[in-house]
Amino acid sequence: MAKAVWLPFAAILLQAAAPGAGGCLPPEKAAERMDEYSSNPRSPATYRALAGLGDPLIAPFPYDYRSRGSLFEAPLEWHERKALIDRMLPEQRSDPTYWVPEEGHCRLDHPLWLARARMAALGAEHPYVRQWFAVQKAVFEACINRTPQGARPLPSPIELRDPALAALQEDDRAYQQASRLFYEKSPRAPEAFRRISASASRHAPIARYMMLVIKAEWELPRASPRPAAVAKEASGPPPIVAVGSGSPERRPPDVMAAVADAQAVLADPRFASVHPLTQALIGSIAWNSANDYGERGFAPRAVELRTTQLRLALQALRLPTRRLATDRSAGERY
């Protein structure tokens, strides 16, 4: 009964609302779209149609929960992905008849996107492209091994006479060095990403996002209490002070600070390319607040986190149709 009521209502709104290219859909297309709404009642397009906001027609209906979550993700055929990963990761210990890379804790999406961009601009065998792959392989040794020990230093920069290419190498190398520090869990990693994000580097947006990842995921050293003052007699030996040899106590990440920082990123147009990733990170934190993070004491903030997640989702869904059709970052958030 409910479907019988809302489907005609959706049809009226669909005919009245201008799609991304402008104008109304012909009746046969409107009927086809209504079938999709019925099959996908929780989709963004269905929400907009029922809310009278207009279906921007910018994305296919998903049939599972997975979809592109980043502007940096590049759809790759299996053989293309394998070829790129073979050039980026250390030697694989996988069955050659059924290739599954041993990725460790490596984050592959952005480097795969970068690899394709560099190859498209310069050619697959350009000297700088070969250099970029060599450096990236050294970066990934730290996350494959799950330890900085045994990972070789990054190869030295190559000499480039083209000023534009030399600047590209400088930007790429700074980000690769910061990534290596990230995989080593080095305390210098946040500052390395901060410097990149504050610069004119083409990697500034993704570096700003990695600062959020560190804030949301890394455990922090707990401040050591100040030793109590010990009164000592004028005569006699000095007091004995026990010095522990173990690792400093750690405390969970401050996810509320990470969420507040993430909202600042979403409000900054300079970092528009990582807005979809940033919104996804907030969603992950909110979901984990009652699951993984709940075990670490974040459950009391679950309602606050879920409310923030919902508010941002509705904000992304309610953007003007024309902006969704022309702004790629807004379309990805939608």
> Residues 189-224: pLDDT tens digits?
999 999 999 999 999 999 999 999 999 988 866 555
* Residue 85 or residue 104, greater confidence: 85
Q: Across-strand partners of 250?
A: 221
Q: Residue 230: is its pLDDT beyond 50?
A: no
Q: Residue 295: is its pLDDT beyond 90?
A: no
Which amino acid is present at 217? Answer: E
Contact between 222 and 246 under an 8 Å Cβ cutoff? The reply is no
* Structure confidence at residue 293 (pLDDT): 66
Find the mean pLDDT for residues 150-166: 90
Q: How confident is the model at residue 298 (pLDDT cuts 50, 70, 90)?
A: confident
* Structure confidence at residue 259 (pLDDT): 95
Q: How confident is the model at residue 228 (pLDDT cuts 50, 70, 90)?
A: very low
Contact between 53 and 17 under an 8 Å Cβ cutoff? The reply is yes
Find the mean pLDDT for residues 67-90: 73
User: Which residue in the block uniquely carries the two structure tokens 């995921």?
Assistant: 217
